[in-house]
Chains A and B, each alone.
Chain A
Amino acid sequence: MCDVQEKLIAWLDHELPTDESAEVQRHIEGCKQCRTRLAGYEKVSETFDVYCDVVVAAKTRRRVPRWVPVLAGAVAAVAVMFLTFPRTRIEPPPILPTITAASVPVPAQPAPETAPRKTIHRRHAVAPVQVRAVKWQPRETAVQIAIPAEAIFPPGAMPKGMNFIAELSIAPDGSVKQVRLWQ
Chain B
Amino acid sequence: MRDDSVPLALPLLRLAAGTSEVTTLYRELRKPLLRYLVCLGLTSDEAQDVVQDAFLSLQRHLASNGTQENIRGWLFRVAHNQARNRQTSYHRRFGEPLDGEMDFLADDATPEQRVLEKEKFRHLAAAIRLLTESERECLLLRAGGLRYREIGEVLGIATSTVADTVERGIKKLAEKCNV
A: residues with CB less than 8 A from B are 6, 9-10, 13-18, 40-41, 43-45, 47-49, 51-63
Contact = CB atoms under 8 A, between A and B. Distances in A.
B2 interface: yes
A63 B45 contact: yes
The 3 closest A-B CB pairs, nearest first, are A58-B101, A40-B179, A9-B167
Interface in B1-54: 1-2, 5-6, 34-35, 38-39, 43-45
A14 B38 CA distance: 26
B143 A49 contact: yes
Nearest to B176: A44
How would you classify the secondary structure of chain B's contact residues: helix, strand, loop or mixed? Answer: helix
A44 B174 contact: yes
Contacts of A18: 2
Contacts of B79: none
Contact of A59 (B43, B139, B148, B163): B43
14 contacts: A6-B167, A10-B166, A13-B142, A13-B148, A15-B1, A40-B174, A43-B179, A44-B179, A47-B120, A48-B139, A51-B124, A52-B35, A52-B143, A61-B104
Contacts of B39: 52, 55-56
Interface centre among B104, B166, B174 (most CB of A within 10 A): B174
